[in-house]
Amino acid sequence: MSTHNFPSLQPAVIADTRDACHAYAQVLGGWIRTCRPRRKHWWNLCLSPSLGGVATGPLHADGVHFALELDLAGNRVHAAIANGERFSEPLGSQTADQLADALQAFLLGGGVGADYVPGENSAGSHGAADGVVRSGYSAQVAADLAQAWREIVAALADFQSGILEETSPINLWPGHFDLAMLVLGEDKVAGQDPADEEYSDKQLNFGFSFGDTGIPEPYFFVTAYPQPERFPHLPLAGGAYWNSEGFSGAVLRYRDAIAVENPAELLRAYWQQMLDAGREQGLLNNTGS
């Protein structure tokens, strides 16, 4: 018997809320960019899943410790400083720029130095947010987005637990607003500088997007770098298909995944097929799972 609770996500219904939350996430992304040291594959730029949405986790700015959360389930943004000061504001009625201004005022007032304020021209910063209030924003849809993330993160974490290769944290990238997890091979890509892991690490990327200009509906994706020649010709099961518009990867539409009795089981089979193919094609090294 299925125990999943994946909500229905109709593209036309979620669009305004998704786009607003994407812009809000970029505001939080600006602070992690300025406060976190670089990690390989730029994992320092990512938000982490939380019970209600996504969060920065603890950030540090010259002795001031603080954290930010985009709580979509509660339809609020939260900020906390270790000295006890708290900030909380409902989402939806303000632009991302207005939210950025409010967070900036709170953090500066709490002792965060001005040097840590996200620059207007840095990606994922205040300057990458926008000045639009979306009339179709819905607190219920925001809660549905959070619920979908919870279910997907749980399924992806279960899958991750059986992988022997190195894996990244399950991350939320503010720029594209997608959840993703990397699986890394041990061998390096021939001809690339081994010190530049972005281009030298063989990898599979398992992810989920609420939709974008290329695929305007929620979808799961798996991409490979470098992509084995046989990958676009793999016979994909469960309604997945090979996408070549905008990016090359195995795509499974969210609506197809949740149409079955046990979406988590379908997702595991889809992810496992791609993991096995990566191993068979020499992208990864381990043969166990």
- More confident of the two residues 199 and 20: 20
Last residue of a domain, one of 69, 104, 128: 128
Which pLDDT score is estimated for 133?
86
Is the domain of 271 the same as that of 150?
yes
Average pLDDT over residues 269-283: 95
Mean pLDDT of 192-214: 92
Confidence of residue 288 (pLDDT cuts 50, 70, 90): very low
Domain boundary among 101, 128, 155: 128
Domain contains 194: yes
Q: Express each pLDDT in 53-101 by its tens digit.
A: 999 999 999 899 999 999 999 999 999 999 899 999 999 999 999 999 9
Specify if 159 maps to a domain: yes
Asked if residue 150 and residue 88 are part of one domain, the reply reads no
Helix (H) or strand (E) holding 199: helix 197-200
Whether residues 273 and 152 fall in one domain: yes
With cut-offs at 50, 70 and 90, classify the pLDDT of residue 219.
very high
Residue 107 sits in the same domain as residue 66: yes
3-state secondary structure at position 46: coil
Q: Domain limits at 21? A: 11-128
Residues 265 and 149 in one domain: yes
42 band by pLDDT with thresholds 50, 70 and 90:
confident
The answer to whether the beta carbons of residues 59 and 44 sit under 8 Å apart is: no
**HSE-up (13 A, CA, CB side) for residue 128:** 22
Q: Which of 265, 51, 49 is nearest to 155 (CA)?
A: 265
* Amino acid 123: pLDDT: 40
Q: How far is CA 45 from CA 212, 267, 279, in A?
A: 20, 26, 28
33 neighbors 170 (Cβ within 8 angstroms):
no
- Choose among 76, 54, 50, 55: nearest CA to 66: 55
Average of pLDDT values for 33-57?
Answer: 94
Domain count, the chain: 2
Q: What is the average per-residue pLDDT within 106-127?
A: 75
3: in domain:
no
Q: Are residues 74 and 161 in the same domain?
A: no
In a domain, 269, yes or no: yes
Is there a single domain that holds both residue 33 and residue 149? no
Segment 125-133 mean pLDDT: 64
Specify whether 23 is located in the same domain as 58: yes
Of the two residues 215 and 125, the one the predictor is more confident about is 215
Residue 286 located in a structural domain: no
Q: What's the pLDDT score for residue 155? A: 96
pLDDT tens digit string along 136-174? 999 999 999 999 999 999 999 999 999 999 999 999 999
Does any domain span residue 287? no
Same domain, 179 and 111: no
Is there a contact between 88 and 68 (Cβ–Cβ < 8 Å)? Answer: no
Q: Are residues 192 and 217 in the same domain?
A: yes
Classify residue 117: in a domain, yes or no.
yes
CA nearest neighbour of 267 among 173, 153, 145: 153
pLDDT in tens, 227-261: 999 999 999 988 999 999 989 999 999 999 999 99
Name the domain boundary from 69, 101, 128.
Answer: 128
- pLDDT tens across 168-200, in order? 999 999 999 999 999 999 899 899 988 888 888
Q: Does one domain contain both 167 and 273?
A: yes
pLDDT at 126: 44
pLDDT at 124 over 60: no
| Burial class for 42, CB neighbours closer than 10 Å (0-12, 13-18, 19+) | middle
Residues 192, 144 within the same domain: yes
pTM of this structure: 0.92
User: Do 96 and 27 form a contact (C-beta atoms < 8 A)?
Assistant: yes
- Predicted confidence at residue 120, as pLDDT, reads 55
Is 31 inside any structural domain?
A: yes
- 100: part of which helix (H) or strand (E)? helix 96-109
Amino acid at site 64 = V
